[in-house]
């Protein structure tokens, strides 16, 4: 076994591994013999010894007022690993909590059927209500009837929630479905409707807030893909703004 290589894999530097092995071999010693044995600069040897004392791999003794170094039981290496494992275990919950706050974190959910659809709408409304402008951005690629059929009897509750939460809705749709949306969406409060003559031919509704995006798929089965990620949401927000500026 290459002990020096193993020590380096453990976390020692190349110089530290050389000093540690020399210290074990020499026993209680001054720094000078370690310098001679390792052929390292005296400062590098002292730096390694200082670290060993901090880690518990070495102790300092004095003989006739002369500073001497001696290695502790090598099992100190294993004890140090256990100490670090315990330290990591103690802070791990806090680290995970910090990660949860990271806007790079991606949370993806798939919601199926009418219940999943309405649950997604509640999540979207809650997210929109937390925005400063309280505006839900919607890209409607399909027929207006698809959305309202999916809402079913929950439509009145949905409209009431939007009004109570003072939510505005901006919707861009294909020009061919503009008349359909005017009949219902256009009559809801705090709405603005625009259309594009082409480019929105995918039968998916995309809802965008500052922190999440949802994709509503109606055929052949009703389901929603919900993604919570602020970076992705900002990108979709930028895409919506571009569509909004070019629509009429």
Backbone CA torsion sign across 156, 148, 132, 130 = positive
pLDDT at 14: 92
CA angle 42, 45, 47 (to 5 degrees): 110
Q: Tell me: the pLDDT tens digits for 137-149?
A: 998 877 777 888 8
| Structure tokens that stand for 2 in this block | 């290459």
pLDDT at 147: 83
Quote the mean pLDDT of the chain: 86
Q: What is the mean pLDDT of residues 82-110?
A: 75
Q: Tell me: the pLDDT tens digits for 110-161?
A: 988 888 889 999 999 999 999 999 999 998 877 777 888 888 888 888 888 8
Is the pLDDT at 234 greater than 60? The verdict is yes
Is the pLDDT at 94 greater than 90? The verdict is no
Phi/psi at 98 (5° precision): -65, -40
Confidence of residue 83 (pLDDT cuts 50, 70, 90): confident
Report d(CA 119, CA 98) in Å as an integer.
27
- Of residues 175 and 210, more confidence is placed in 210
Residue ranges of domains in the chain, CATH in brackets:
3-74 (1.10.10.10), 107-246 (3.30.870.10)
Is the pLDDT at 230 greater than 70? The verdict is yes
What DSSP line would sit under 114-163, residue for residue? HHHHHHHHHHHHHHHHTSSS-EEEEEE-S-HHHHHHHHGGGHHHHHHHHH
């Amino acid at each position: 076994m290459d002990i020096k290589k193993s020590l380096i894999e453990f976390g020692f530097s190349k110089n530290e591994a050389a000093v540690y092995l020399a210290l074990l071999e020499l026993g209680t010693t001054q720094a000078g013999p370690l310098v001679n044995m390792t052929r390292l600069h005296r400062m590098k040897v002292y730096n390694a010894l200082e670290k060993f004392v901090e880690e518990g791999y070495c102790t300092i003794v004095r003989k006739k007022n002369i500073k001497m170094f001696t290695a502790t039981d090598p099992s100190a290496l294993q004890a140090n690993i256990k100490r670090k494992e315990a330290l990591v275990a103690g802070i791990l919950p806090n680290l995970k909590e910090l990660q949860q706050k990271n806007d790079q974190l991606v949370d993806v959910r798939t919601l199926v059927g009418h219940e999943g659809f309405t649950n997604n709408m509640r999540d979207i409304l809650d997210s929109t209500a937390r925005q400063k402008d309280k505006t839900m951005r919607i890209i409607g690629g399909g027929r207006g009837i698809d959305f309202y059929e999916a809402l079913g009897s929950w439509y009145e509750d949905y409209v009431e929630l939007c009004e109570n939460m003072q939510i505005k809705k901006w919707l861009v749709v294909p020009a061919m479905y503009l008349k359909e949306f005017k009949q219902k969406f256009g009559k809801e409060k705090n709405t603005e409707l625009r259309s594009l003559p082409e480019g929105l031919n995918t039968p998916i509704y995309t809802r965008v807030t500052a922190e999440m995006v949802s994709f509503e798929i109606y055929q052949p089965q009703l389901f929603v893909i919900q993604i919570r990620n602020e970076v992705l949401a900002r990108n979709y927000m930028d895409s919506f703004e571009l569509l909004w500026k070019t629509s009429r």
